[in-house]
A and B are shown apart, each in its own frame.
Chain A
Amino acid sequence: MAACAEHGMASMALLDRDGVYGAPRFYQAAKKAGQQAHIGAELTSIHGWRYALLVATRQGYQNLCRMITRTKLRAAKGEGRITTADFEGMAAGLICLTGGEEGPLADALRIGGMPRGQACVRKLCALFGRENVYIELQRHFCREEEARNQAAIEIAREFNLPLVATNGTCYAFPHQREMQDVFTSLRHHRTLDTAGRLLALNSERHLKSPAEMARLFADCPEAIANTQALPSRLQFTLKDLGYEFPRYPVPEGSSEMQFLRERTFEGMIARYGADDPAARRQIERELALIEKLKLPGYFLIVWDIIRFCREHNILVQGRGSAANSAVCYALGITAVDPVKMKLLFERFLSEERGEWPDIDLDLPSGDQRERAIQYVYERYGQLGAAMTANVITYRGRSAAREIGKALAFDPETLDRLAKLVGNWEYRDANDTLERQFKNAGFDLRHPKIRKFLELCLQVQDLPRHLGQHSGGMVVCQGQLDSVVPLEPATMPNRVVVQWDKEDCADMGIVKIDLLGLGMMAVLEDSLKLIRNQYRQPIDLHSLPQDDPQIYQALQKADTVGMFQIESRAQMSCLPRLKPACFYDIVVQVAIIRPGPIVGKMVHPYLNRRQGREPAECLHPSLEAILSRTLGVPLFQEQLLSMAMIAAGFTGGEAEELRRAMGFKRSEQRMKEVEIKLRRGMEKKGIRGAAQDAIVQSITSFALYGFPESHAASFALIAYASAYLKCHYLAAFTAAMLNNYPLGFYSPATLVKDAQRHGLRVRPIDVTCSDWVCTLEDPPRPEAGGFCLRLGMRYVKGLREEIARQIVQERSLRAFRSINELKIRVPGVQKSELAALAEIGALNRLGDNPNFHRRDALWQIDRASRRAGPLLDEQEESQGAIATPEGDASFALKPMSTEARLVADFRHMGMTAGPHPLAYHRRELQKKGILSASDLQGVADGARVRVAGAVIARQRPGTAKGFVFLSLEDETGISNAIIAPRLFEESHLTIVHEGFLLIEGRLQNQENTLSVKAERVWPLAVTKAAPASHDFH
């Protein structure tokens, strides 16, 4: 649109193929540039050519959306085709152009010359009406096209139809044709070398100025005149979308508002008691605004979903700005008390903003969330509710992979090139692309590699495909398919709109986010286990508020597995922040974010907290806003309030600021906001350093900071996870392992951490393990606490249905031998049995107490070779009672400890036995290598040597090239900091070795321990390969 504006064009039309995918962004961009955005679409007919349709009226838009929906929903994904019958009664409000080379006229002329072309135009006139058909001319300097144009002009004269000149524009500038060619070859699964004439003939499909077009069609001025006149017929814009939020059905005699009021006050009494004037005041204020904005229906619909979840025992919690609302709290949508926490309601809902409020619901990921989604579909009908889409753009690796494919790199080269891109968040001055390419074995002087890089940079952020948003749903009163076309999603029973979540919001379509949160599933599973095994029903809403055990754990940074506060960065902050109350957890969740880190707010806050510097405000006028965070702005709300007070922003301007902060890409918007801020502060007399500090605080949040309400919602979940970990370790660990992948650490680290906290973890055993991890009684009652039995889901390569068959068969009758297992679960493959045997899961099926993993392996190799049809029956009858052979005279050597470790990590990614380093502690001690727990007693600055399995490698963009390593040994986790130079020197060792020995000086900053590495060596203790969480 910018190029369009440069050419001085007043309007433009976008005709997406079989949809209106780009319409909202096109509309927004046009609005910004002060241009008119016309909507249309190219609909693919069953014959392969495309109708080019422009929307003239709202009815036309609705017809277009419905037709697209109809064709999409009746076919497989991406295969919908339109028929002439589809236009019956649906052509009103649409203008049909005869199209370019893929249009109906071109196709007809190609097949049957003039007679067929005339017939085609006659048919179009019958479908759309003579006054709505235009004969389209395009000129791309192509002989065949020109011949077609001459035929089209002849037909237009014969039928007395208007000519229009268009350009079939695909890109703004000629050089972008390269990208179009790349996309063409990718779409056809070809390389550029083999795409041949599928590629563009030339680079003429770029945006051309009116003067250029007039010159091109100098012989046909009426076509230009008609093109200029056509927009006057296109009355419809997306402003006129006609979206309406559904009304909630209320009992007769009641209104939506009244019904909401009743539900809210019922909830208020439950939450605050009958006599809480502050809460009542707040709720009344909010209800008044909700009524004024005509939003009761929206709250009731969300409340209805919450009610459904509660009734079906689905854990649900609202997050985001909804946590600022006392009405949401009273309705049970959120769990944070905004009155007590003095949260800013305006952040959630304001009269000025003129947009729908945003309520995000966290649900347990998996089936439970799907149930909630299906409930919304059921309630509003398939054409009344849909998931929002997610525009997936080309980013780092995906871009590299696809561009490499088009350039015909072989798979290995492709793999290496893709790995190169986006490997590191941070790049220092020496970390040039040339160097990175050279390190990976490529030379940027190679023309293909250079073109690869050029195209990769060009393709960044361009849309790749339309995915389904993880949880955003839109609902509509009446038919959603007349607002935006719907498509079938890849997942069964789901439909998805053609617009991105943000685009829906921009178009004023209300959405409800039903987000799947792994930790919610962990909480739900933990509660189930506690209820069923411990026989102690607990309610997350009534957990003890200030449990000392939790705060002790947090202060020691003993937080592996706890929601949002377990990462290495969080752990390094916890001993300094020393959380002592719930609000401290809210701060902790919010402080380790790029916003506060880049804004240099972390250290001032920690220093003030420890009394090392005075809690001064940036400006006295901001005292009220910043006092609770010791004068340091940490939350989005504070920044908005700062802008309102210090720079006199209105609520609407503050909202603009918030939206600018929400998008990484809006640097331009932030600059505009900064000018406004400074101007506002000048007026209020805030100048110099104070002004700079305020601007710095606000703009740095563009790199993302948390709203307080969101942090509070997350802090609640963090507190709940901490509570469960501290008091119900077995249940919590089992639930964590059963919901993996989630969180920061690998299952191996979670298991080792739980073991260090006293949990007995039992290995996988086909005689008692389920598919998931389960709890078992302790060996002796006095041993106390449950044991955790690892589930078969951790056996790599074992199919779930096989594991479940094993469990089912076992419940009927215990297995007595491996052979019997093989006979009763015939689908089990040899590789699956081998994996089970290698990790010792078949040991208890042996015929003697000394039966070991290799004995099992010996037996499965026999069991997997069937005797053949003749002897199968005999074998089956014997198999149940006897092992296949009695060659007891010979014995395989049991696996060594090392072999067991290697097998455990290879097949499970973890071990239930001791940590690999535990076997080597004595020799490590002899070499002066300290364990993680030994470091506790070492003075700051002392030279130390530590060793461990690398469980995390981080190189955050905010850390100037430093690399942070987490090393795990049998006593805990130690941290090491690698300076950029050392990293450069020992790059291969640090990145590729699983176990490291690090020498350096210990830094002890208020009990946050880390070793500043001076030398790094690989540690050859085992061939077991633990997984590491790298560079995410």
Chain B
Amino acid sequence: MAFACIYIPDFMVQSLMRSEPALRDGPLAVIEGAPPLWNVVAANPVALRAGLKLGMTKAQAEEFGIPVRHRSESQEKATHAALLDAGWGASPRVEETREDTIVLDIAGLDSLFGSRNDIARELARRASHLGLIPQVAAASSIEAAIHAARGFAGITVIPDGEERKALSGLPIHVLSAGVETIEVLERWGVETLGGLANLPVLPLSERLGAEGVRLHQIASGSCTRSIVLASPSLHFEEEMELEDAVEELDPLSFLLGRLLDQLCARLAGRALALRALHLQFDLEPHFEREFRSLADDVRPREATVYGKVLTLPVPVRDAKLLLQLLRLQLQSDPPLASIRKISLSAEASAPRVTQNGLFAPQAPDPEKLELTLARLAKLVGQANAGSPEPLDTHRPGAFRMNRFAPSQVRPEKSAQNASGKIGTAKPMQGFRAIRPPVPITVDIRDEEPVRVYLRGKCGTVTAASGPWKTSGDWWQDSWQHSEWDVALDFGTRTALRGSEPRPDQGVYRIYNDGRQGRWFVRGTHD
């Protein structure tokens, strides 16, 4: 039995350095948090030596003149994936121990790479190729390899039977144990794995339970466990770097179709379907769209990246349908620059296997519905299609657009209909909202509107009620409306040639937007 462990110290920092190699030799601090407060969550030893401390704010860290970067979980994921790839490149049996740690079963690899030492060196080389500075250890047990990798810099090879001796000098912080357990050990004065190995096992188990025994075995180098093989993930990704940047939709559709075919084929091979599709384009930099948030609330993002997420109501594996949906998305919100790299990643899940109940109401086919919705969204804009939900605010007409979901409940008959007394109740007064509100010009006399100019017509106010004042959101995007309900007389109109002229009148709701100083029509009363 032989195992090797690759451990990447300061993983957050190294993940960022991997994408910015220029940072490799200097200090670097990684910050994370909710705006406006960002704290240092990681730093490399050079930065720590300069006096930086974890927990400092961004402003404090910047006072040290140390480069500061936001934590990038995607970079970390990518680094981890790359690490796994490096592992799989050397051995088919890889354990994904932690984000910064992987373990390889290296039994039998000697014929390929040579001695344990050579294998460890080869692994270190491969990790270094990824732009990382790894710590690699090889030993006959998994835990010995992991802890040696965590505890010793560079490459460590522990000869068989010498695990306890080799690990004895390591501080107990390298143990993968809970904070409380480490605290208990510290309270006992146990500072190294050697100290822990010296404790009697039985009393230790009485105090720390099975966890104590496990840690004792690790410290004694006698911990044997099986490798937990990393299972291939449910995350499927396909990428394509383009020699010549693409600008037109048609050639892009062709490429997208190819990638989607590949993705769907892979999903089919695993009997899975696609639940969400992430599309990402890397754009030509000279078309960079300037992105600056006034509030600085949002972290400046890479403006050279265009991304879309296609969330599907049911898992599908139909490449044609997916392509159609993508095309509609791209038509309604096209990228502003030519594309030089395409990434498609799929979130997979089991395909839909249920069928509708015999007595369940007929609902549109989900795939077709999704397509229809996408077409609608293309026509009216993404933000204008879906199920509206009124917001809890005084702001007139405020609503949020949710994803359209057809109601599963059959609408009940109204009480009036049920009683059969149709028309006995007083009819509700209707109000027709005009969205977006139409700008108008209003003449005012004695603080009241007297004339309204709407779509080229001039209406005289024959009756007015108001003003009805509303205002709010003063702490952010403030608004202030002053509404009037006005009866307007536009004179007469002739609907059809030869017909009698009829009075052109109506009751309108108009308002003055105090922030813009302009008038609008909000709607009409029936």
Q: Which residues in A have some Cβ–Cβ distance to B below 8 Å?
A: 140-143, 177-178, 181, 192-193, 196-197, 199-204, 407, 410, 412-413, 416, 438-443, 446-449, 451, 834, 838, 854, 857-858, 861-862, 865, 885, 887, 889-890, 892-895, 899
Answer yes or no: B9 CB below 8 A from chain A CBs. Answer: no
| Nearest CB in chain B: distance from A379 CB, A | 53
Answer yes or no: B474 CB below 8 A from chain A CBs. Answer: yes
A-side contacts of B198, CB under 8 Å:
890
A141-B469, A443-B36, A887-B203 are known; give 14 further A-B pairs, CB within 8 A.
A141-B482, A199-B472, A201-B472, A202-B394, A412-B33, A412-B39, A438-B59, A440-B57, A441-B57, A834-B187, A857-B188, A861-B184, A885-B203, A889-B200
A-side contacts of B60, CB under 8 Å:
439, 441
* B203 with A143: CB separation less than 8 A: no
Q: Of residues A141, A451, A854, which shows the largest number of chain B Cβ atoms within 10 Å of its Cβ?
A: A141
* A892 with B476: CB separation less than 8 A: no
Residue of chain B at shortest CB distance from A192: B475
* A202 with B57: CB separation less than 8 A: no
* Given known contacts A439-B59, A854-B189, A446 and B36 CB-to-CB distance under 8 angstroms: yes
* B36 with A448: CB separation less than 8 A: yes
| Nearest CB in chain B: distance from A830 CB, A | 10
User: In the assembly, what is the distance between CA of A854 and CA of B187, in Å?
Assistant: 7
* A446 with B207: CB separation less than 8 A: no
- Cβ-defined partner of A441 (8 Å) among B38, B200, B467: B38
* A142 with B34: CB separation less than 8 A: no
B-side contacts of A854, CB under 8 Å:
187-189
* A197 with B200: CB separation less than 8 A: no
Answer yes or no: B271 CB below 8 A from chain A CBs. Answer: no
User: In the assembly, what is the distance between CA of A439 and CA of B63, in Å?
Assistant: 9
B-side contacts of A203, CB under 8 Å:
471
| Nearest CB in chain A: distance from B447 CB, A | 10
Residue of chain B at shortest CB distance from A142: B468
B-side contacts of A193, CB under 8 Å:
476
* B189 with A895: CB separation less than 8 A: yes
* A441 with B199: CB separation less than 8 A: no
- Cβ-defined partner of B59 (8 Å) among A410, A441, A858: A441
B-side contacts of A140, CB under 8 Å:
469
Answer yes or no: B499 CB below 8 A from chain A CBs. Answer: no
* A858 with B188: CB separation less than 8 A: yes
* Given known contacts A416-B37, A446-B295, A178 and B470 CB-to-CB distance under 8 angstroms: no
* B392 with A197: CB separation less than 8 A: yes
* B189 with A899: CB separation less than 8 A: yes
Provide 15 A-B residue pairs closer than 8 Å at the C-beta atoms, listed in order of the A residue. Answer: A177-B474, A197-B392, A197-B394, A200-B472, A201-B394, A407-B475, A412-B37, A413-B34, A441-B59, A448-B295, A451-B475, A854-B189, A858-B207, A894-B189, A899-B189
- Cβ-defined partner of A446 (8 Å) among B58, B189, B296: B296
- Cβ-defined partner of B37 (8 Å) among A204, A441, A889, A899: A441
* Given known contacts A413-B34, A416-B37, A197 and B393 CB-to-CB distance under 8 angstroms: yes
| Nearest CB in chain A: distance from B45 CB, A | 19
Residue of chain A at shortest CB distance from B58: A441
User: In the assembly, what is the distance between CA of A410 and CA of B38, in Å?
Assistant: 12
| Nearest CB in chain B: distance from A200 CB, A | 8
A-side contacts of B466, CB under 8 Å:
141
* B206 with A862: CB separation less than 8 A: yes
Answer yes or no: B249 CB below 8 A from chain A CBs. Answer: no
B-side contacts of A447, CB under 8 Å:
295, 476
* B34 with A410: CB separation less than 8 A: yes
User: In the assembly, what is the distance between CA of A196 and CA of B390, in Å?
Assistant: 11
User: In the assembly, what is the distance between CA of A643 and CA of B276, in Å?
Assistant: 84
User: In the assembly, what is the distance between CA of A861 and CA of B206, in Å?
Assistant: 8
Q: Which residues in B have some Cβ–Cβ distance to A below 8 Å?
A: 33-34, 36-39, 57-60, 184, 187-190, 198-200, 202-203, 206-209, 295-296, 391-394, 466-472, 474-476, 482
B-side contacts of A862, CB under 8 Å:
203, 206-207
B-side contacts of A443, CB under 8 Å:
36, 296
| Nearest CB in chain B: distance from A991 CB, A | 12
| Nearest CB in chain A: distance from B308 CB, A | 28
| Nearest CB in chain A: distance from B484 CB, A | 11
- Cβ-defined partner of A202 (8 Å) among B189, B190, B470, B476: B470
* A413 with B469: CB separation less than 8 A: no
A-side contacts of B392, CB under 8 Å:
196-197
Q: Of residues A204, A449, A858, which shows the largest number of chain B Cβ atoms within 10 Å of its Cβ?
A: A858
| Nearest CB in chain A: distance from B37 CB, A | 4
Q: Of residues B57, B60, B472, which shows the largest number of chain A Cβ atoms within 10 Å of its Cβ?
A: B472
Residue of chain B at shortest CB distance from A145: B468
* A204 with B38: CB separation less than 8 A: no
10 interchain residue pairs of minimum CB distance? A441-B57, A196-B392, A861-B207, A141-B469, A441-B59, A202-B469, A413-B37, A893-B189, A202-B471, A410-B34
- Cβ-defined partner of B200 (8 Å) among A416, A438, A865, A887: A887
| Nearest CB in chain B: distance from A15 CB, A | 24
User: In the assembly, what is the distance between CA of A196 and CA of B394, in Å?
Assistant: 7
* A892 with B37: CB separation less than 8 A: no
User: In the assembly, what is the distance between CA of A441 and CA of B469, in Å?
Assistant: 40
| Nearest CB in chain B: distance from A214 CB, A | 15
A-side contacts of B184, CB under 8 Å:
861
* A890 with B189: CB separation less than 8 A: no
User: In the assembly, what is the distance between CA of A9 and CA of B209, in Å?
Assistant: 79
* B36 with A196: CB separation less than 8 A: no
A-side contacts of B467, CB under 8 Å:
141
Residue of chain B at shortest CB distance from A454: B475
* B199 with A201: CB separation less than 8 A: no
User: In the assembly, what is the distance between CA of A834 and CA of B186, in Å?
Assistant: 12
* B203 with A181: CB separation less than 8 A: no
A-side contacts of B38, CB under 8 Å:
441
User: In the assembly, what is the distance between CA of A410 and CA of B392, in Å?
Assistant: 22
| Nearest CB in chain B: distance from A763 CB, A | 18
| Nearest CB in chain A: distance from B298 CB, A | 12
* Given known contacts A838-B187, A857-B187, A890 and B393 CB-to-CB distance under 8 angstroms: no
User: In the assembly, what is the distance between CA of A834 and CA of B207, in Å?
Assistant: 13
* B468 with A141: CB separation less than 8 A: yes
* B469 with A204: CB separation less than 8 A: yes
User: In the assembly, what is the distance between CA of A1004 and CA of B362, in Å?
Assistant: 96
Residue of chain A at shortest CB distance from B199: A890
* Given known contacts A196-B391, A204-B469, A447-B476, A442 and B36 CB-to-CB distance under 8 angstroms: yes
| Nearest CB in chain B: distance from A884 CB, A | 8
Residue of chain A at shortest CB distance from B393: A196
| Nearest CB in chain A: distance from B525 CB, A | 13
| Nearest CB in chain A: distance from B384 CB, A | 23
| Nearest CB in chain B: distance from A863 CB, A | 10
User: In the assembly, what is the distance between CA of A143 and CA of B525, in Å?
Assistant: 15
| Nearest CB in chain A: distance from B517 CB, A | 17
User: In the assembly, what is the distance between CA of A892 and CA of B189, in Å?
Assistant: 7
* A410 with B189: CB separation less than 8 A: no
Q: Of residues B36, B57, B188, B475, which shows the largest number of chain A Cβ atoms within 10 Å of its Cβ?
A: B475
| Nearest CB in chain A: distance from B191 CB, A | 9
B-side contacts of A894, CB under 8 Å:
189
A-side contacts of B208, CB under 8 Å:
861
Residue of chain B at shortest CB distance from A857: B187
| Nearest CB in chain B: distance from A357 CB, A | 50
* Given known contacts A197-B393, A407-B475, A854-B189, A865 and B37 CB-to-CB distance under 8 angstroms: no
Residue of chain B at shortest CB distance from A834: B187
A-side contacts of B203, CB under 8 Å:
858, 862, 885, 887
User: In the assembly, what is the distance between CA of A720 and CA of B391, in Å?
Assistant: 68
